[in-house]
Amino acid sequence: MIRAEVFTLRVPLRDARAGAVQTVLLRLTAADGTVGLGESAAAPSIDGIEADTIAGELRDHLLSPLDSEKAFPPLLRALSPPARCALDTALHDLRARRRGVRVADLLGGPRRASVPVNALVPRVPIAEAIAWARDAWRRGIRTFKIKSSDRDADAALLGALRGAFGLGALLRIDANGSWTVEEAIARIRALAPLDLEYVEEPVKPGDLTGMARVARETGVRLAADEDARDAEAVRLIAASGAARIIVVKLAVAGGIAGAMEILQASEAAGLGVVITSRMDTSIGIAAALHLAASAKSLAGACGLATRDHLADDVTANPPRVEDGKMTLPEGPGLGVRLDPEALDRLQEGGEA
């Protein structure tokens, strides 16, 4: 028998002005006491799905204990990608712990012991943002990403980063699909003197024709994020010439299994990959880290250092960043341990 517990967590951000993020934690407990952990951080501003919706979906499908892992495949197919992400991750963790191996070993084995990471620079006054970036620089991080705001603010922050760190820094901007095609072309051309590493999801998801036009007319590498939801989507991106990099998120892919299919499709199409987390706790970050450690190749630093934005965490041993790289945890499964006191402290919605 396998019993499931679902928790909705409210995790405060380091910048108290930004409030908190909500994430959903799933704990599977087998009859022998082995535990598997999974997570799906909510991103309603991107996909419109709230944490309560993810948690409710998991509770509805996991209300009763299940006889064995054989009961899970139909459940996985019935879930939305964010809910499927939590369940799929917990199953990978459970299977690996039962075998006494790491999740990365289930994925063909780790190809690297640590993964280079980028810093997501917060949208705060520029002096604060640069101080944040300098702290990341001291820890060896050399790639900086910003979320797009208005045109002048984007140029000012990227210019300040370039001025602070020179050509030794790699700069990225993520528009989250908020620009029109014409606006994307104009903005990217205006930012050309700053020598961006790439621009992520510049136009509305689904407009691959428009994105391909942006790529042609600017000559800057583009990365697909929201559009890269499964292997077939990756093949369409490659065929259209819309992007040269695929950003892989477990919550979008529906978990580790779906993300592996995206990695394989990207490799077959000759596209680079970067693995990124949402605003997960160290459970979701560890899952993405195992995926990144197992990938055949990476197109650049991965967006896994998002825990820097959280003021609290639900694990006792979060993955560490040293010399600009995040180290794969020791121990079986995901390698992270749930902190019971932190779970009580951060819990909002109780358990199923």
Task: Please check whether residue 82 lies inside any domain of the structure.
Answer: yes
Q: What is the mean pLDDT of the chain?
A: 94
Statement: residue 309 has pLDDT above 80: yes
59-68 pLDDT, tens digit each: 998 877 776 6
Residue 68 pLDDT: 65
The answer to whether residues 66 and 155 belong to one domain is no
The answer to whether residues 72 and 144 belong to one domain is no
For residue 317, count CB atoms less than 10 angstroms from its CB and return exposed for 0-12, middle for 13-18, buried for 19 or more.
middle
Task: Please check whether residue 225 lies inside any domain of the structure.
Answer: yes
Statement: residue 329 has pLDDT above 90: yes
Task: Please check whether residue 221 lies inside any domain of the structure.
Answer: yes
Percent of the chain surpassing pLDDT 70 = 97
pLDDT mean over 37-59: 93
Statement: residue 221 has pLDDT above 70: yes
The answer to whether residues 125 and 247 belong to one domain is yes
Residue 16 pLDDT: 73
Give the three-state DSSP class for 24.
strand
269 C-beta neighbours (distance < 10 Å), count: 15
Q: Which amino acid is at 290?
A: H
113-158 pLDDT, tens digit each: 999 999 999 999 999 999 999 999 999 999 999 999 999 999 999 9
**Residues near 217 by Cβ (< 8 Å), separated by ≥ 6?**
185
The answer to whether residues 69 and 121 belong to one domain is no
**Is 204 an annotated catalytic residue?**
no
The answer to whether residues 91 and 33 belong to one domain is yes
Half-sphere CA count of 193, side-chain side, radius 13 A = 6
The answer to whether residues 243 and 310 belong to one domain is yes
The answer to whether residues 133 and 224 belong to one domain is yes
Task: Please check whether residue 13 lies inside any domain of the structure.
Answer: yes
Percent of the chain surpassing pLDDT 90 = 88
Q: What angle do CA 35, 311, 163 make, to 5 degrees?
A: 125
Task: Please check whether residue 334 lies inside any domain of the structure.
Answer: no
Task: Please check whether residue 351 lies inside any domain of the structure.
Answer: no
Residue 349 pLDDT: 44
Residue 75 pLDDT: 83
pLDDT higher at 74 or 218:
218
Residue 19 pLDDT: 86
Statement: residue 71 has pLDDT above 80: no
Show the tokens assigned to 164.
């602070």
The answer to whether residues 248 and 139 belong to one domain is yes
The model's confidence at residue 6, banded by pLDDT at 50, 70 and 90, is very high
262 closest CA partner among 292, 283, 284: 292
pTM (predicted TM-score): 0.95
The answer to whether residues 20 and 47 belong to one domain is yes
The answer to whether residues 122 and 50 belong to one domain is no
Pick left, alpha or beta for residue 70 (phi over 0 → left; psi -120 to 50 → alpha; otherwise beta). alpha
**Is 70 an annotated catalytic residue?**
no
Residue 17 pLDDT: 76
**Annotated catalytic residue, options 145, 204, 249, 325:** 249
Residue 352 pLDDT: 43
pLDDT mean over 274-282: 96
The answer to whether residues 178 and 43 belong to one domain is no
Task: Please check whether residue 352 lies inside any domain of the structure.
Answer: no
Residue 351 pLDDT: 46
Domain count of the fold of the chain: 2
| Spacing of C-alpha 38 from chain mean position | 14
The answer to whether residues 126 and 228 belong to one domain is yes
Residue 74 pLDDT: 84
CATH number at residue 212: 3.20.20.120
The model's confidence at residue 46, banded by pLDDT at 50, 70 and 90, is confident
Domain of residue 196, residue span:
114-327
Task: Please check whether residue 107 lies inside any domain of the structure.
Answer: no
**Annotated catalytic residue, options 147, 204, 296, 325:** 147
CATH number at residue 25: 3.30.390.10
- Parallel, antiparallel or unpaired: strands 198-200 and 222-224: parallel
